[in-house]
């Protein structure tokens, strides 16, 4: 008679905690000097709103910010991808090992039950323990 795992195998639920990387402060290299020429084009509120200088200023601002934004997004994406990829691979690797162990235990216990090697008294005790545990938790 082979040795049977007398523990009831239930799937484990492990919450995965991922660490968030520290990202650089965006646009640290930009100063008011970068915007001086664009802001110097402000010729009063009438020209700004009526003569559509607002649109011209907006386009100039977009051109000034386009490259720094692209650089920041690229750096952040690389940082986030690298860190989360590593954490995900670790989590999946550990989860796969636990999953394999649970499946192996389940299959072995099922085979033992079909072969009549399981002690029904032990199973009844385990059933009562589970009922009491669930009742205590209000389930």
**pLDDT of the residue at 1:** 39
Long-range contacts of 54-62 (CB under 8 A, 24+ apart): 61/35
Contact 87/21 with Cβ under 8 angstroms? no
Check pLDDT > 80 for residue 16.
Answer: no
pLDDT tier at 73, thresholds 50, 70, 90: very high
Check pLDDT > 90 for residue 116.
Answer: no
**pLDDT of the residue at 62:** 92
Check pLDDT > 50 for residue 127.
Answer: yes
- pLDDT above 70: percentage of residues in the chain: 88
Mean pLDDT, the chain, rounded, equals 80
**pLDDT of the residue at 77:** 92
Top-confidence range, 8-22, 30-44, 54-68 = 54-68
Residue 4, judged by CB atoms within 10 A of its CB (0-12, 13-18, 19+), counts as middle
d(CA 121, CA 119): 5
The tokens describing 110, both together, are 């099922």
Instruction: Dump pLDDT digits (tens) for 81-108.
Output: 999 898 888 877 777 777 788 888 888 8
Contacts for 5 with CB less than 8 Å, ≥ 6 apart = 105, 108, 109
**pLDDT of the residue at 53:** 81
Contacts for 39 with CB less than 8 Å, ≥ 6 apart = 57
Query: What is the pLDDT averaged over residues 96-124?
Result: 79
**pLDDT of the residue at 74:** 93
Model pTM? Answer: 0.51
DSSP state of 96: H
């Amino acid at each position: 008679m082979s040795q049977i795992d007398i523990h009831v195998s239930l799937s484990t639920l492990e919450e995965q905690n991922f660490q968030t990387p520290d990202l650089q402060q965006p646009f640290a290299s930009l100063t008011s000097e970068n915007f001086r020429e664009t802001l110097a084009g402000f010729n009063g509120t009438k020209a700004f709103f009526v003569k559509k200088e607002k649109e011209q200023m907006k386009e100039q601002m977009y051109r000034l910010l386009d490259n720094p934004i692209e650089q920041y997004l690229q750096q952040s994406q690389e940082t986030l991808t690298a860190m989360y990829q590593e954490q995900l691979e670790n989590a999946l690797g550990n989860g796969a090992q636990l999953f394999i162990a649970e499946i192996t235990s389940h299959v072995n216990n099922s085979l033992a039950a079909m072969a009549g090697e399981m002690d029904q008294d032990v199973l009844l005790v385990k059933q009562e323990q589970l009922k009491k545990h669930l009742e205590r938790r209000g389930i």
